[in-house]
Every structure is written in C-alpha cells, then in structure tokens.
Chains A and B, each alone.
Chain A
C-alpha cells in the first residue's frame, strides 16, 4: 500500500493503519470536528464562562467547610457564638444556588450547541452524498452510506451529549484545584501533581490501542447495517427461497464481529479507567500519609488537612470523567474519520466551475452530439470505443443491440450520470461538463427500468417530477400517458400510498407512475431506458400513443427490447460492442435487410 492510498474511502476499510496514516486520518477527523464546532464558538465561549461560574461556586464548598471547621467551630465551642458558622452555612447555600442556576443556563446552551452541531453534520453529509456521482454509490453500497449518516453520527452525539462539558469543567477543575492545593500547602500540591506523568503514560497507551479498536467497531456496525438493509430490501426472495437460516448464520457472524469489536473496546476501558483510578487513589493515599505526618509534627493545621483531602478527591474525580470523555472522543474520532472520508470524496461528475448557459430552445427539443466518446466502467474494459453520434433536435432515436452493446451506457452519458473518459457529449453544442446541474436536469430527464418510487402517495411520486405542480397538472400528466385509469382503480386513487419503495404496486403500475412523473417534468430531452418493459399491452399501446404527441417537439432516446416501441422512432441505431452497425429510419432498415430486419422477423413470429 502506498502512502497515496490514504485518500477518502480507500483508507476507511482498514482498521489497523500504520502510524502516519492513522495520524492523518485522525487529523482529518479533528479538522472536521473543528469546522463543525467553529460556528458555535461564541456560544461555547459563553457556555465556558457559565461553567467557570458553576465550577467556582461548586469549589467553594470544601473551602467553606474548612473555614467553618477552623474559624467557625472555636467561637461556637468557646463562646457559644454561632454567627460565623451561620454565615458560612448561608454562604454554602448561596454557592449552591449560584451553581445550580449557572448549570441551568449552561445546560440550555449546551443543548443548543449539541443539537446544532448534529444538525449541521447531518445536513452537510446528506447534501454531499447527493452531490456524489453514481460511481461512488455503486462502490460504497447503500448500507454503508446509511451507517455513515446514522450510527456514525450517533457516535458523535454520544460524545457531545455527555462529555463536552466534562472536558471544559473537569480540566478547569484540575487546574483550579491544582492551584488551590499548591496555595494551601505547596508540598501537598506537588505530591498531587506527581500523579501526572503516570496518567500521561496510561492515556498514551489507551490512545494507541483504542484507535484501531474503534475503527473496527465502526466497520462492524456498517457491515451489520449493510446486511440488514439487504435482507429487508430482498425480503420476498429471502422468504421464498428459505434463505432465513443461512441469513441467520451470516448475520450471527457479523453480529459476532461487532460484539468482538465492542468487547475489545470495553476490555481496553477495563484497563484504562481503573488505571487512571488507581493512580488517583494511590496519590490520595500518599497525600494522606504525608499530610498526617506533617500534621503530627505540627506543620499542618487539622482543618487544612481535611480541606486538602477533600480537594484531592475533587482533584482526581475529574480524571475519571476526563478518561470517560477521552474514551468517547476516541469513539467519535473513529466515526468522524469515516464521515470525513465520505465528505472528502469529490464527485467524479463535477458541477462546472463556470457554467455556460444553454442557448434558448429553438422549439423542437435540443440536439445531442457525442464526439469521439470513449468510455468504460472498469479499467481495461472499454464499452464505447471512440463513438460519434449526432442526434438533431426533435429526433426520436431508438437504440437496439444485445446486452452489453452499450445502449444503457450511451443513455447514461447523455444524462450525465458519468463523464466520458475521452471525447465530448454536447447538448445544443455546449459540453455537458459546462452545463449547470439544474439547467441540465431540467433539460434532460431519464426514465430507467429501476423506476424507483418513494414512500408516500401516487400523487406525491408523480409531483416529484415537478415540485409545486398542481393536482390538476399531476392528473393531466397521468392522463397523458394513460396511467389515470389504473391509478383511479387503486383503493384511494391518487392518494393511495404506494408502500415502501412502491411495494404495494406491481412492476407495470410502478412504470406507469414513473412515466407520468417524467411527463410532468416536461424536459427537452427524454431518455427512456427500458421504461416500458413491464407494461401490459393495452398500457403499452396507450404509452406509445402518448409518446407520439409527447415526443413531437422533443428529442428522445429510447432503449427498448420490444420492437413495437421502436416503431415510433424516426431513426434506429443498432449497436454491437459499442459501435453503430446500422443507422437509419426503421422502414429503410427493414427494406435493406440486416440486424434490425432480422429482429423484426424474430419478434413477428
């Protein structure tokens, strides 16, 4: 593995990375954390001030008690004068009230900061995922994307929820109490500080060990999520083919991996936390002995010793909290490493830096030109070798050819799901890479065989084609493709919920809805990639009838296995291994006799 591999996603899958790479991942994740926190720095400043107030009033407690015992007790015992002790007790109550109030305000601030940061991170990651190209989504798998946006964000939430105040307040505690101890008695203070080198050693060990362990946890969670997503997505096949037992075995293994990763982290903590604890209590014992010795020899007042022992406790208590914070920071860091990896991904199909506006539409759609286009999904496997193709505005072109001939690839290039490796794709003469994303998507709409439907009603799915369209426009679009009859027969018509991913509808019904959606979008260029494969014959006829009017003033590229759909084309292209082998109007090709004619023969049986 070379050092250049540590970019983005590639580095993410390794949990035990070499030191320099680990450092780099950590830096990347801290950078992300920094950028998330930055907008809230003023709030954090105020919150820190509140914490200081809260802390100081909290710290007054032991001090006031030592004052009470040393200064308040003698007059009370000697003269029955309770004024000092009452004053001290009153001060204690006041301190408690101030502590409580500042904590209240602080908690409100903290809730705002925490929820704000989480919201920003979620939105940022989501928006970035929307920008990334299909190639990324194919590589990354949906389950892992989901885990980045859910369980990894949760990890950060855990840290922010519990521990950000710990960090400020406890470090402050340590600092202030350290000073107080030194002032009260410098010898005792120094003894307390002696614990630090030991603490540092423990922390260093924990960081080294827990980094990879937490990375492994994140990956294990992602694998569990991937498996669940896949199972739920294919539940029909799972049940019909009795894959449940096998799935249980596979899932058991993944859940076991996750359990092992979690257990590893917890075992590390089982050493880390008592380690910190041990150093703390050990130091307390040493101070007890030394303080006692000094008191015996009259070099320390009893009240001061009592106060010192109370402070020492409060000096080391934060160490526990800080170690817990450090732990959740490690966990969040691993999660942020993953998220920052996704955020670092650049879209392969990048929006133009300086968009070139499309010329005003002339009337009959837009022209498309592929110039010298070379493309392949994987290295060494070229799908399209130096293809040249010009489609004049308004023309309807049908692409034919066997699986793998490159039909869908051409459609994807025209729709700019991918950019060509070499050559240019132009829309009305403008290179697609220079067209603004919004203008491009308004001009070209692709309907694929996937015809994904979102949860919600039929109408909501159609309106997706043009948000803001009126119900009447939605219905008109459905009428135009002949989908209205089918929709009206559904239990609630246009208001019928389509179920998760459209599961309530059959494939044919889904295609009709998807088609209505595309028609509502009203693009200049319509690409239909197997968009009608599951339609029954009457629906298909209706769609074809609709297409005639629809495509009259649009440019269209149609990929269909059914030749009946091809008939409406002005021009037929037969592809073979990424090359155009036949090109002409259907009637002409039929007359000359070739691949197209043979296909017609076959389907006309």
Chain B
C-alpha cells in the first residue's frame, strides 16, 4: 500500500508545517526558552573561569560571592526558562497532534467505501494513534531541539574560537565525521522505520480481526492457529525492531566517540598552548568545560535524527490517508431539487477499482415516484452493489443514475442522502441511545415520527429496554439479537418518511410471525415512497409493484411477480413461491 508518487520523507515532514504554524508562537517560546536555558548553562563554566583566574589566583575573596550569586541566579533562571518552555511545548505538541488526529478522522469518514474495502482498518487505526504520536512529538519537540542543538553547537564553537581559535576550529570541524555517520545512519534506518510502522499496522489489523471474529475463532477452536499467526506477525515486528536496534548499535557509539577524540586533542593542543603562553590555565579549564556543552548536541544528533526519521515515515503514512481522494464528493455547481422520487438507472455499469470485470453492466431501470421495485437474483448477481449506488456509497463507473431527471452526482450529497434512506443487510448500530440510532439521518425527527417508525418496524420492544429509548445499545451498550437489530435498522431507514427507500433484504433475520407484521406495516409506507427492495423470499416480493431480475450483473427481465413467474424460467428458479419438495 503506498501513494502513487512516493514523496521523500523530508518533504513530507515539511508539509506538516501547516499544522505547526498555528503554534508558531509557542514553538518560538519553546525555542527561546530552551536557548536561554542552554546559554545560561554555558555561564557556569565562564563563571568558573573567572573564579579561578580571579579570586583563586589572587587569593582573595573579593568577587567570590558575586560570582557565586551570579551562578545561583543563573540556576534559577534556567529553571524558570525550562518551565516556560515546557508549558509552551505541552500546549503546542498536544495541539498539533490533536489537530492532525481530528483532520485524519474527518478525512477517513469522507473516504469512499471502495477505499475502506481495500484498506484494513487496523492500518488506519495505527496511523491515527501511534504514527500521529510520533509526528506530534517530533514537531513540537524534536524539531525544536534539532534547531536548538545546531544553534548551541554554533554558539559554543564561536565562543571556543574566541578563546583560542586553533582549538576552536578543530572542535567545530568535529561536526564533519558526525554528519557522515548520521548520513549512513539515515540510509539504513529510514526503510526499517517505515517497515516497522507498516508491520505494527498489520499487527493491529490482526488484533482487530481476531477480536471482532472472536466467536468464529471460538466456534472452530482455532485459538492456537490464531496465536501462531499472531506470533508470526509479532515475530516480524520483533525482527524488524531488532534490525533497527542493530543499526543504532552500529552508528550511535561511533557518533558518540567523536567528542571523546575531540577532548583528547583539546587537552594535548591546549596544554601546548598554555606552555607557549597562548592560553591561560583558566582559559583551558573553561575551554574544556565549554567543550562538554558541545558534546551533548553532537551526541544527541544521532538520537534526534532517529526521531526525525521515525516522524518522517510516520508522516508519510498519515499523508497516504490524507492524500487519498474522497472520490465521492459534491460536484460544483450542484443542483437543487424538489424531490418527487423518480429514480432512473441509465446504462449503468459498475466495476470495483481493483477488479477487471464489471459487477454491473448496462443496467436500465425506471422506478416511478411511489413505485416499489424489487430486485431479485442469485447471490453475487449484483443486487447489493446496485443498492449502494443510489446513495452514492459507490459511484457508477459508466452511465448515470438520475433522481427526478437530475444526475445524482449533480445533487449535493447532503440532499441526496437526506432523501434516499437505506437499510443494509448488516444492521449496524452505534454505541448510542436507541433514539440516536434511529434518528441518525434525521436528528430533527419528532417523538411521533420515531414512534411511527418503531411501529412500522415492529421494534416497539425498544420501549421495554431498561431505560426505554435512552438505553444505550451497540457494542458499548446492551446487546440485542440479530432480529432486534435488523428491526431497529429498518426503523432508522423509514423514520421521517424519506422520498426514496433502499432496503437490502430487510427482513432476513426476522421470524415468520414478526416478518408478517412488519410486511403489513411496511406496505403503508411503501405506497407513497419510491423504493428499491432486494428480496430473497417470495413473501417479501409481494410488497413490490414490479420485480427486476438480475443475472450476472445485467437486468435479465422486468415485470410483475406473476408475469415473471409465468414467463421467465430463471425467475421461477430464484423466487418460486410454491414450497418445492426437496428431493430426498
């Protein structure tokens, strides 16, 4: 899985500046306070030098207390600036991460169904959690410290050069081997970092799948198989993590050795300089003291670059989602429409983006306002796909669908989905109250409308739940039976009397008695509503005015149930009402 045009990790990091910009002031505060703290720390060795060259050498307490007082003041100021910097960082990093997270979530919701069918949700999840964390913390912390360490290093170098330039230059040149080493580090580390993140994403997917498919795993007693599969994936993560660790073990010690060599050279050169009178002893002590401040920026460069690289590859992963086109969006300009409910399919074809063969071809259908058209056909003939097109959960690949003469792609999505209401084969309920679940598409529905919908769907059991319609259902709430869920999903579809109803086998999980009651109630709704109804059973077909028989993605026949029964043998095979005696 990757973007069409892979953008370099460095460039990806730069793209994030739009998220950093609102926090620019805070990041500047962080930078300045960190720089101040750093500078104040350098004051320490300078004070030491003064102390040794002044009071100590002259054997006098004059100025001793002033110097000590200054050192204490510096200590206090460091603390204050560190505190200020950390406060700024707290708000900044959290702000950036949260903004990215809400944007990513919002975008994922907009991405089309075909995207979600293709992408494992575990991968999406890991991007919205662990990758964002890496990005957020780097933006608000690592990036600032890379700047700060560079500045510190330059600053210390200047001071060192001003104390004794030959040694100062030598120390400054120490950055060269460090740069060579970090370049080597990046080359091995970057691909591993990306691979590890991808593998963690896969692991997340596996966890999610095994949690959601728990009952199936249990039913077949396949926990051992799943454990093995998980151990394999976790082992892959382990191996990549280990490889990453080995790269670090190769480069970090080398990078960290550079300052040690610099220290040795400084001692040797400094001693000679002192012998030649080019430096005082105090200057040498201060020089060595200051050098330790240059060590930390050098040392930490390897680590900081590691963070930067992790953030860069994580950002790539995040942008792969953010860059994905939602596909199904409002066209401009959109048309407004007073919907009557005349639904037409004109030479419609549909093909999944990843597949070669079309699922639907040359579908022509005309559903007049108020008419109910049933879709029949064997499994895999394209019925469900057809229903997904009306709501624009998928867009047609060819031809067009019109509502009252207007191509549905020219209608605002909001309008289209307000007027077209659907119940899918899998009744999805959210962790929310019954009322909220029913009024999902119509938050303004009145209590009467909700009551009417519940009555039609024979879902009045909802009133008897522990807290009535306020009872929380869904995964985080009360669990309901399949039939109950399906009835609530049906209530959700019919609430507020939509102009167009799309029902995919809406009664499959109901027992015979309930089914009969729902059918009766549904009939009253369907008389005034344009409806597309996927049917598997003769009992449901009677709700329809006409039936279209789908076969291999094309419309094989259209007519009334009786006509088709009489004239189309294929139809008889699919929907014969007379209970056939199964041959013994």
Q: Tell whether, in the assembled complex, residue A99 and residue B78 are in contact, meaning their CB atoms are under 8 Å apart.
A: no
A68 — which chain B residues lie within 8 A by C-beta?
267, 271
Instruction: Say yes or no for B482: interface residue by CB 8 A criterion.
Output: yes
Instruction: Say yes or no for B527: interface residue by CB 8 A criterion.
Output: no
Contact pick for A548, options B72, B210, B508, B582, CB 8 Å: B582
Question: With A69-B281, A240-B441 known to touch, is A263 a contact of B509 (CB < 8 Å)?
Answer: no
Count chain B CB atoms within 10 A of each CB in A100, A224, A258, A564 and give the residue with the most. Answer: A100
Scoring A residues 398 to 415 as 1 if CB is less than 8 Å from chain B, else 0, what string do you get? 000111100010000001
- The contact sample of 16 A-B pairs, CB cut-off 8 A, is A73-B271, A115-B245, A126-B230, A150-B207, A228-B128, A233-B121, A239-B391, A263-B90, A270-B83, A285-B68, A289-B65, A289-B68, A449-B482, A486-B380, A567-B582, A602-B512
Q: Tell whether, in the assembled complex, residue A229 and residue B425 are in contact, meaning their CB atoms are under 8 Å apart.
A: no
In Å, the complex CA distance between A114 and B424 comes to 46
Given contacts A240-B424, A278-B75, A561-B511, 20 further A-B contacts (CB under 8 A): A69-B271, A111-B242, A126-B227, A138-B479, A150-B125, A237-B430, A267-B90, A282-B76, A285-B72, A296-B60, A296-B61, A306-B48, A306-B52, A310-B289, A313-B44, A464-B216, A504-B117, A506-B380, A535-B379, A602-B513
**Interface residues of B: mostly helix, strand, loop or mixed?**
helix
Instruction: Say yes or no for B238: interface residue by CB 8 A criterion.
Output: yes
Question: With A103-B256, A108-B246, A447-B219 known to touch, is A69 a contact of B211 (CB < 8 Å)?
Answer: no
**Which of the 9-residue segments A129-137, A175-183, A333-341, A576-584 touches chain B?**
A129-137
Q: Tell whether, in the assembled complex, residue A449 and residue B509 are in contact, meaning their CB atoms are under 8 Å apart.
A: yes
Contact pick for A293, options B64, B204, B475, B575, CB 8 Å: B64
A241 — which chain B residues lie within 8 A by C-beta?
417, 421, 440-441, 492
Contact pick for A100, options B97, B257, B483, CB 8 Å: B257
Contact pick for B91, options A263, A464, A564, A567, CB 8 Å: A263
Q: Tell whether, in the assembled complex, residue B117 and residue A500 are in contact, meaning their CB atoms are under 8 Å apart.
A: yes
Instruction: Say yes or no for A305: interface residue by CB 8 A criterion.
Output: yes
Scoring A residues 330 to 370 as 1 if CB is less than 8 Å from chain B, else 0, what string do you get? 00000000000000000000000000000000000000000
Question: With A123-B231, A123-B234, A226-B476 known to touch, is A499 a contact of B117 (CB < 8 Å)?
Answer: yes
Q: Tell whether, in the assembled complex, residue A145 and residue B207 are in contact, meaning their CB atoms are under 8 Å apart.
A: yes
Instruction: Say yes or no for A556: interface residue by CB 8 A criterion.
Output: no
Q: Tell whether, in the assembled complex, residue B207 and residue A149 are in contact, meaning their CB atoms are under 8 Å apart.
A: yes
Within 8 A of B (CB), among A70-112: 72-73, 76-77, 80, 82, 85-86, 88-90, 92-93, 95-97, 99-101, 103-105, 107-108, 110-112
**Which of the 9-residue segments A35-43, A388-396, A450-458 touches chain B?**
A450-458
Q: Tell whether, in the assembled complex, residue B117 and residue A445 are in contact, meaning their CB atoms are under 8 Å apart.
A: no
Scoring B residues 149 to 160 as 1 if CB is less than 8 Å from chain A, else 0, what string do you get? 000000000000
Scoring B residues 458 to 487 as 1 if CB is less than 8 Å from chain A, else 0, what string do you get? 000100000000000011100101111000
Instruction: Say yes or no for A599: interface residue by CB 8 A criterion.
Output: yes
Q: Tell whether, in the assembled complex, residue B574 and residue A240 are in contact, meaning their CB atoms are under 8 Å apart.
A: no
Q: Tell whether, in the assembled complex, residue B377 and residue A536 are in contact, meaning their CB atoms are under 8 Å apart.
A: yes
Contact pick for B109, options A233, A239, A296, A509, CB 8 Å: A239
Instruction: Say yes or no for A119: interface residue by CB 8 A criterion.
Output: yes
Contact pick for B227, options A123, A226, A263, A454, CB 8 Å: A123
Q: Please, which residue of chain A has its CB at the minimum distance from the CB of B207? A: A149
Q: Please, which residue of chain A has its CB at the minimum distance from the CB of B235? A: A119
A442 — which chain B residues lie within 8 A by C-beta?
221
Scoring B residues 507 to 550 as 1 if CB is less than 8 Å from chain A, else 0, what string do you get? 01111111110000000000000000000111100000000000
Q: Please, which residue of chain B has its CB at the minimum distance from the CB of A99? A: B260
Q: Tell whether, in the assembled complex, residue B281 and residue A255 are in contact, meaning their CB atoms are under 8 Å apart.
A: no
- A-B complex: 9 closest residue pairs judged by Cβ atoms: A441-B221, A111-B245, A96-B260, A289-B68, A270-B86, A266-B90, A281-B75, A107-B249, A278-B79
Q: How far is the CB of A402 from chain B (nearest CB, A)?
A: 6
Q: Tell whether, in the assembled complex, residue B380 and residue A490 are in contact, meaning their CB atoms are under 8 Å apart.
A: yes
| Count of A interface residues, CB-CB < 8 Å | 184
Q: Tell whether, in the assembled complex, residue A274 and residue B86 are in contact, meaning their CB atoms are under 8 Å apart.
A: yes
Q: How far is the CB of B102 from chain A (nearest CB, A)?
A: 5
Q: Please, which residue of chain A has its CB at the minimum distance from the CB of B420? A: A240
Instruction: Say yes or no for A247: interface residue by CB 8 A criterion.
Output: yes
Instruction: Say yes or no for B559: interface residue by CB 8 A criterion.
Output: no
Q: Tell whether, in the assembled complex, residue A417 and residue B223 are in contact, meaning their CB atoms are under 8 Å apart.
A: no
A232 — which chain B residues lie within 8 A by C-beta?
108, 116, 121, 124-125
Instruction: Say yes or no for A568: interface residue by CB 8 A criterion.
Output: yes
Instruction: Say yes or no for A473: interface residue by CB 8 A criterion.
Output: no
Q: Tell whether, in the assembled complex, residue A454 and residue B516 are in contact, meaning their CB atoms are under 8 Å apart.
A: no
Q: Tell whether, in the assembled complex, residue B249 and residue A221 are in contact, meaning their CB atoms are under 8 Å apart.
A: no
Instruction: Say yes or no for B190: interface residue by CB 8 A criterion.
Output: no
Q: Tell whether, in the assembled complex, residue A454 and residue B213 are in contact, meaning their CB atoms are under 8 Å apart.
A: yes
Instruction: Say yes or no for A516: interface residue by CB 8 A criterion.
Output: no
Instruction: Give the size range of B's interface with the partner.
Output: 35 or more
Within 8 A of B (CB), among A505-534: 505-509, 512, 514, 517, 521, 530, 533-534
Contact pick for B268, options A89, A454, A534, CB 8 Å: A89
Instruction: Say yes or no for B174: interface residue by CB 8 A criterion.
Output: no
Q: Please, which residue of chain B has its CB at the minimum distance from the CB of A267? A: B90
Question: With A118-B241, A508-B379 known to touch, is A295 a contact of B512 (CB < 8 Å)?
Answer: no
Instruction: Say yes or no for B244: interface residue by CB 8 A criterion.
Output: yes
Question: With A130-B217, A228-B128 known to touch, is A243 a contact of B440 (CB < 8 Å)?
Answer: yes
Instruction: Say yes or no for B569: interface residue by CB 8 A criterion.
Output: no
Instruction: Say yes or no for A478: interface residue by CB 8 A criterion.
Output: no
Q: Please, which residue of chain B has its CB at the minimum distance from the CB of A544? A: B582
Q: Tell whether, in the assembled complex, residue A537 and residue B537 are in contact, meaning their CB atoms are under 8 Å apart.
A: yes
Q: Please, which residue of chain A has its CB at the minimum distance from the CB of B417? A: A242
Instruction: Say yes or no for A212: interface residue by CB 8 A criterion.
Output: no
Q: Tell whether, in the assembled complex, residue A255 and residue B209 are in contact, meaning their CB atoms are under 8 Å apart.
A: no
Q: Tell whether, in the assembled complex, residue B267 and residue A92 are in contact, meaning their CB atoms are under 8 Å apart.
A: yes
Q: Tell whether, in the assembled complex, residue A61 and residue B260 are in contact, meaning their CB atoms are under 8 Å apart.
A: yes
Within 8 A of A (CB), among B165-211: 200, 203-205, 207-211
In Å, the complex CA distance between A112 and B212 comes to 32
Question: With A403-B484, A500-B119 known to touch, is A275 a contact of B289 (CB < 8 Å)?
Answer: no
Question: With A259-B98, A545-B582 known to touch, is A237 a contact of B267 (CB < 8 Å)?
Answer: no
Contact pick for A538, options B208, B417, B573, CB 8 Å: B573
Q: Tell whether, in the assembled complex, residue B86 and residue A251 are in contact, meaning their CB atoms are under 8 Å apart.
A: no
Instruction: Say yes or no for B4: interface residue by CB 8 A criterion.
Output: no
B337 — which chain A residues lie within 8 A by C-beta?
none
Q: How far is the CB of B392 from chain A (nearest CB, A)?
A: 9
Q: Tell whether, in the assembled complex, residue A309 and residue B83 are in contact, meaning their CB atoms are under 8 Å apart.
A: no
Contact pick for A465, options B116, B213, B220, CB 8 Å: B220
Instruction: Say yes or no for A151: interface residue by CB 8 A criterion.
Output: yes
Scoring B residues 269 to 299 as 1 if CB is less than 8 Å from chain A, else 0, what string do you get? 0011011000001001100110010000000
Instruction: Say yes or no for B14: interface residue by CB 8 A criterion.
Output: no
Q: Tell whether, in the assembled complex, residue B125 and residue A229 are in contact, meaning their CB atoms are under 8 Å apart.
A: yes
Within 8 A of B (CB), among A260-276: 262-263, 266-267, 269-271, 273-275
Q: Tell whether, in the assembled complex, residue B271 and residue A234 are in contact, meaning their CB atoms are under 8 Å apart.
A: no
Instruction: Say yes or no for B126: interface residue by CB 8 A criterion.
Output: yes
A134 — which chain B residues lie within 8 A by C-beta?
214-215, 218
Contact pick for A150, options B129, B216, B253, CB 8 Å: B129
Instruction: Say yes or no for A605: interface residue by CB 8 A criterion.
Output: yes
Instruction: Say yes or no for B11: interface residue by CB 8 A criterion.
Output: no
Q: Please, which residue of chain A has its CB at the minimum distance from the CB of B422? A: A240
Scoring A residues 543 to 569 as 1 if CB is less than 8 Å from chain B, else 0, what string do you get? 011001000000000000111100110
In Å, the complex CA distance between A225 and B288 comes to 51
B242 — which chain A residues lie within 8 A by C-beta?
111-112, 115
B248 — which chain A residues lie within 8 A by C-beta?
107, 111
Q: Tell whether, in the assembled complex, residue B252 and residue A103 are in contact, meaning their CB atoms are under 8 Å apart.
A: yes
Q: How far is the CB of B263 from chain A (nearest CB, A)?
A: 6
Q: Tell whether, in the assembled complex, residue A541 and residue B580 are in contact, meaning their CB atoms are under 8 Å apart.
A: yes
